Structure 1
Amino acid sequence: MSGPLLLSLGIDRFLACQFPVIYRQLCSRSVIYLLLQLAVPIGYTTYITMSSYTQRDSETLVICQVPLALSGSSFEEFNTGGFIINVGVVIIYFVTFLKLRSLSVHESQLKVVFKSILYTVIFVILGWCTVTLVNILCIHLVADIDSQHIMMIYAGISLNMACASNVFVFYKINSDYRSAIQKLLEIKIPDKVYPMTSIIGSVTNGDLRKF
């Protein structure tokens, strides 16, 4: 469900940037809007799950690779659908990024927030896109089953790296996440002391000269 959820999140941010008035109206009915956002992810995941369940083969020995439990055409549907969804996520985030880049300087904080999310999504999407694309190519171009399994296992390395990179990306480029993670890990950072004497002194001296 992660790919469709990222697509829904991208659409949400696109609407917030491109159509703010309509977005506020949608958010005013939060329950209905949330159900609309979840409709595609839940529907897609339910279809893939039911499709794989109806085509299950109890006599097939599955090695330690979860997608191989998908039998028949459900495995190809999973990879094709996932690849299309991930490409859609990249497109929707790219269009939204172009919209954010055209905003005024006063919207710089919004750009910083989106930048942190954008980098994380790029890592995740590159991982999923690699896996689904390799799996599709294996199905149509590689005849030997053992070779297919080996290629799929190596392709999954990029996905695992992408999933594990989220926390490091957020920690590096977003101060809010950095402070939250430091608090979670009980890392104490010394507070900075800022001098205030110059402003107070100038005002005080000015007041004293009046007398």
Structure 2
Amino acid sequence: LLMQFIVMILDRIFYLKRSMRGKLLVHVVTVIGLHIYIFFVLPIDTNRSFPNNGVLVFIYILYLAYWIFSSMQLRTGYPNFVLGNFLTRSVSIPAYLVWVIYRAVPFMHEIRVLLDWTFTPTISQFRWWQKVDAIYHQLYKNRYFLARKKVTDVKRGGYAKKQAFGPKLGGGFLFSLGLLIVIWLPLILMAAFSSQTASNLPDAASITVALGENTPPFYS
């Protein structure tokens, strides 16, 4: 896993620098190194041959797919414009779901943004680079929701149609009711089960009347 993580980092760096030599070096090293490790080192350590290790076969298939795409990239070369995110080129539902999964992976997007800023010639500070990236992804979300809205508007009979009562009831009234319950329910429960609300009638009292602390009381 550590080696794969390092390969991913190097792949991104060489992609940003558009270094075909670096990409070729990583490709050759991974092909030779992993074949030696998978077919010679691991079978000796685990006493299990490659065909009898299902997990290893699955990992090897994944690496084969990676090497195929890597070879295609070596053949065609890097594009002139290496920034941006290819996941945001389409506003279809599958593309949006893939983008959501990508953003949900912990620290993946943050590492990508940091690498982009580090290895891209720019006068921008990192915080402004982050802001631009956040704006870029927010615009993609807006594009997707606008595209979905066009589809729903067509199904409802056209644009600028009044919202139906059903969605407003579910999304407006019930949501407001839920917020009110969240706000007031703890207070109601505290008031209902608090000991301070129980009846506590007095059963005795005393009164003392005096002119000062050092004088005897007139009445007690």
Which TM-score applies when normalising by structure 2? 0.27
Structure having greater relative contact order (Cα 8 Å, sep ≥ 6): 1
**Structure number having the greater helix percentage:** 1
Structure number with larger C-alpha Rg: 2
